[in-house]
Amino acid sequence: MNLDKGELIFINMEPEVLSFLTVEVYELYQALFHAGANLVIEITERNIELLDLRSVYRLFDLGVEFALDDFDLMGQHLDFSLLANECFRFIKIELDMALQYKNTVSEIRESFCKEVIVERVEFQESMLEVMTLHCDYLQGYLLADPQLL
């Protein structure tokens, strides 16, 4: 596995699965850490009410980082109180929603001190539009394909 020092490796995980895989997640974290990379577990918005925060805190205390994936700026599927949780370093927002709610993206960065990732950037025009937002990272096929570990 060729990884750059400090590289972030994002892995999606359904909320209800995390508590069953804490040992495996930690073992993966250790392997990536020894390779010079950092593990970020992306918690998807589906069934967020099933997220066991004790597992999140346990893994966070061991060094695992977390992201809230597909964050719904309208708050229909996700508990906004998770934004205040210290364990979640990253908030991932889909391109269309980020462009529609530009001010909210800035508020999340400033009020909650989160790093915002705009995802689904697949065209040059989209990237140029996103560059006007106050986000920290871009993700999408325009930049790179997902990689196998």
Share the mean pLDDT of the chain. 86
pLDDT-derived band at 131 (thresholds 50, 70, 90) equals confident
* Per-residue tokens: 40: 């970020």
**Above 60 in pLDDT, residue 76?**
no
pLDDT-derived band at 19 (thresholds 50, 70, 90) equals very high
**Above 90 in pLDDT, residue 102?**
no
Mean of pLDDT values over 48-70: 93
Among 28-42, 97-111, 133-147, name the one with the lowest average pLDDT: 133-147
In the block, tokens 């593990």 appear at 39
In the block, tokens 């999340």 appear at 108
Contact (Cβ atoms closer than 8 angstroms) between residue 67 and residue 9? no
- What pLDDT, on the 0 to 100 scale, is given for residue 59? 96
CA–CA gap between residue 104 and residue 110 (Å, rounded): 10
For 87-101, what is each residue's pLDDT tens digit? Answer: 999 999 988 888 888
CA–CA gap between residue 90 and residue 23 (Å, rounded): 22
CA–CA gap between residue 53 and residue 58 (Å, rounded): 8
Strand partners, 140: none
